[in-house]
Amino acid sequence: MNINIQNVHMKHRCYYLFVSCLLSLHTWYIYPYFDISHVTSYLKIDSNSYLKLYHKNCFLGLYLLWDVFNMTLSKNRKILFRKDLIIHHVTSLYVLFKYINIVPLEWSKFTIAECISLMNYIWRNNKNLLKIYRTCSIFFVRMPLSLWMCFNFYKNNIDFPYFKTLFFMIFYDAYILWKLYFEKKLKN
């Protein structure tokens, strides 16, 4: 029964992330480069687009709230609870709501980093393939994106707490890699 509840939740999580990643790809298609000079002018950037950057970012916020709710307050919280994911989601929510109007373009682009969890449901029975996919997502999407954004924000003197949060995300990715490759070896 517990496995079924986890699988259903994982499937819904993957649906949410799939839509979020599609919205992020849409943003990358419209605004392919990081141009810090216009990140704060949300209306100027996206006034003609149906999918406004603000709405794309709110969709990510809804996903994070939904997932935190399910892991902490729902009737299945004992089955779904993951401390590391709660910390990641709460940090992401804090930063999202603090900076949603300051750097909406970057937030919308950064959502593609959630691609790490896209295949969790599809490849749940093929752990080795999922491990390779998650590792590639970290090294070829998440870390380069985090480092690129850190560099751009530092270079353009954009708020330092956001800069620190990106470093937290990089350490979180290192934790995921540790869990994938070393945690079980240490337990044995």
pLDDT score at 73? 93
Please tell me what DSSP assigns to residue 111.
Answer: G
Continuous segment of H or E residues that includes residue 79: helix 77-80
pLDDT per position as a tens digit, 47-69: 555 557 777 888 888 999 999 99
Q: Residue ranges of the chain with pLDDT lower than 50?
A: 37-45
End-to-end CA distance of the chain: 27
Does this model's pTM top 0.85?
no
Number of CB atoms found within 10 A of residue 17's CB: 22
pLDDT score at 68? 94
